[in-house]
Amino acid sequence: MKIGVLKTDDVRKELVGEFGEYPEMFADLLRAQDPELEFVTYEVQRGHYPENIDEVDAYLMTGSKTGVYEDKEWIPPLMDFVRKLHEKKKPTIGICFGHQLIAEALGGKTRKSGKGWGIGVHSYEMQDMPAWMSEPRKAFSLLVSHQDQVEELPEGAKVLAASDFCPHAMVQVGDHILTMQAHPEFTKPYSKSLMELRGEVFGEELVDKGKASLQNDIHESAVAKWMLEFLRR
């Protein structure tokens, strides 16, 4: 299977040498489940798109420091591309910003949450366990870094996982779109480094709480398996 990564941001220059760019993080995550996967990166933040929507089997949209509501010239074309993917029922996954932009493009609404920043390890309870999950769980935990949240779902969306902090944590639209707020591609060392680098933004108290949460288990392998099962169904 060939996956097109819609890259919507660059890793901070202070961290890229150690941790790589987002497409590399996703390749590491998913190739741990299937070493035969192929990846193609599209720098959509710089206006680069596939010449043919079917030149890859599926798409995955990364996270970004940009808000989907910001006045950036590359965001409207990306929303148009998402609508084309939706119309064609192309298998698509959105992560963090990707989760938010897909919702916004299809009629939902993303805003800065009044609950503030979420960082470190967060846990979610499953609200629905679809048949495509070969190993469903009652709950799972992943690393997060976000202030924006999807507050209104698009038509046809179904919540698969939620928490008190993030009620729309994992969402399925039809049989071809899966999105999630958390970051299965993040590792704990990357999350810790990001928290330290952005300490002035998050505040010392939240950073201390976020770092302490890194002692908790995360279930990135289980979620990676779900991602591939969804794309292959």
Alpha-carbon distance of 228 to 233, in angstroms, equals: 9
Q: What letter would DSSP give residue 208?
A: H
Given the residues 99, 146, 168, 183, select the one marked as catalytic. 183
Q: Taking residues 170-188, what's their average pLDDT?
A: 98
* Nearest alpha-carbon partner for 226 in 143, 133, 137: 133
Q: What angle do the packed helices 97-105 and 75-88 form, to 10 degrees?
A: 70
All domains in the chain, ordered by first residue: 2-112+148-186+219-232 (3.40.50.880)
Given the residues 104, 146, 168, 185, select the one marked as catalytic. 185
Q: Is 154 left (phi over 0), alpha (psi -120 to 50) or beta?
A: beta
* Nearest alpha-carbon partner for 35 in 224, 226, 191: 224
Torsion angle of alpha carbons 91, 163, 182, 31, nearest 10°?
A: -60
Q: What is the pLDDT of residues 140-151, one digit of tens each?
A: 999 999 999 999
Q: What letter would DSSP give residue 98?
A: H
Contacts of 206 (CB under 8 A, 6+ apart): 116, 117, 119
Mean pLDDT of the chain: 97
- 182 φ/ψ angles, rounded to the nearest 5 degrees: -80, 175
Q: What is the pLDDT of residues 198-217, one digit of tens each?
A: 999 999 999 999 999 999 99
Model pLDDT, residue 183: 98
Tell me the two tokens of residue 126.
Answer: 């499953």
Tell me the two tokens of residue 18.
Answer: 């150690």
Confidence bin at 233 (pLDDT 50/70/90): confident
Would residue 96 show up in a list of annotated catalytic residues for this protein? yes
Given the residues 96, 122, 146, 220, select the one marked as catalytic. 96
Would residue 166 show up in a list of annotated catalytic residues for this protein? no
| Pairing of β 148-152 and β 2-6 | unpaired
